[in-house]
Amino acid sequence: METAWLADLQALAETLNFSRAAEKRHITQPAFGRRIKSLEDWCGSELVDRSTHRLKLTPAGEAMLEAANDIAARLERVISDLEQMRAATSAVTFAATHALSFIFFPGWIQALGHEASTMPIRLLSDNMNECERIMTEGRAQFLLCHDHRNSRIRLDMNAYRHVELATDRLIPVSGRDRDGQPLHTLSQAADRAIPHLAFEETSGMGRILSSALSAHTDRLHLSTVFTSHLAMALKALAIEGKGVAWIPESLAADEMGPVGRLTSAGSYDWAVDVSIVLIRPHARMTDIAESFWTLVQGKDWRSPRQPLSAIVPPGQQIIS
């Protein structure tokens, strides 16, 4: 049996016309008819009811069509899986949260030097939940994400190891008025809810903030008016004066100066220190991935403790 015969049956079921099905399959009608007959011979059953003016599949034909659809779907999945396997073995594949894909990854790769910048690289950018899923399913060799001591990464860390690359902090920001004063502050009257531009719970920073701020709910009177897993979206809405957002200081930096459109919405007591970490499996990876890991380990990231700006120059922090 040839798999092409299954596609012929699918075309015939779709058109219910030998001529149009043959055209769809780019063969002559006689040749198409012979292939359908060959499939019937292989099955030992008539698949097409030719006794009426309008063609229809027999019960055996319907059963065979269902099998054909299932086989075609399975083959498509296998082809996709094989393509991913080929890509994974020929490139260094990263799962990275959206914020780090924008504000950290490009400059960090450049800072690693010529060897890293010339390696074939795939970057899969998503929210933290999906990044963890990508790692668990083995579709990436490395996970680049924020970390905080009170917010657990949802991987079996007995099966992974990591290196801390840099530090950042999440700071509360607000748009500013004409006098440069914040439109919203964390210290405003308790009887007035503070509009909050929040990270979704599926985001890594959403988890971190939820954990870090949970002990201060009695001092905060936040009313969530917008949620997103994109720090850039929260930043844009904060600039427009829609509320207070905790975003990475590295992302806010270009708008926090004297002529910027953002200002602090509270004292730095409200800042949340975070680390940027690179996670990999304990198990041996592909040769190119192991070479990249060796390159990363050759850098002294943690001595002394480095802020993000020490790795990514200010002019390279925001990639639009």
What integer is the mean pLDDT of 106-130? 91
Instruction: Write down which residue in 68, 87, 106 finishes a domain.
Output: 87
Same domain, 78 and 140: no
Mean pLDDT, the chain, integer: 86
CATH number for the domain spanning 309: value is: 3.40.190.290
Q: What's the number of domains the chain is made of? A: 2
Residue 146, token pair as written in the block: 């924020």
Residue 223, token pair as written in the block: 């009313």
Listed residue (171, 175, 232) closest to 203, CA to CA:
232
Same domain, 78 and 98: no
Same domain, 100 and 82: no
User: How confident is the model at residue 72, as a pLDDT?
Assistant: 87
**Confidence label for 99 from pLDDT (cuts 50, 70 and 90):** confident
Number of residues assigned to the chain: 320
Same domain, 159 and 233: yes
Same domain, 123 and 168: yes
Residue 276, token pair as written in the block: 């940027």
Same domain, 7 and 149: no
DSSP code of 152?
-
User: How confident is the model at residue 304, as a pLDDT?
Assistant: 42
Same domain, 181 and 79: no
**Confidence label for 314 from pLDDT (cuts 50, 70 and 90):** very low
Same domain, 65 and 128: no
Half-sphere exposure of 224 (CA within 13 A, CB side): 10
pLDDT over threshold 70, residue 111? yes
Give the domain extent around 7: 3-87
209-241 tens-digit pLDDT = 988 888 777 778 889 999 998 899 999 999 999
User: How confident is the model at residue 249, as a pLDDT?
Assistant: 92
Tell me the whole-structure pTM to 2 decimals. 0.65
131-152 tens-digit pLDDT = 999 999 999 999 999 999 888 8
**Confidence label for 187 from pLDDT (cuts 50, 70 and 90):** confident
**Confidence label for 36 from pLDDT (cuts 50, 70 and 90):** very high
Same domain, 78 and 95: no
User: How confident is the model at residue 86, as a pLDDT?
Assistant: 66
Instruction: Write down which residue in 66, 87, 108 finishes a domain.
Output: 87
Cβ neighbours of residue 144 closer than 8 Å, sequence gap 6 or more = 94, 95, 96, 97, 100, 104, 105, 276, 277, 278, 279
Same domain, 234 and 169: yes
| Tokens 């400059």 found at | 107
Q: Specify the 3-state DSSP secondary structure of 225.
A: strand
Same domain, 293 and 159: yes
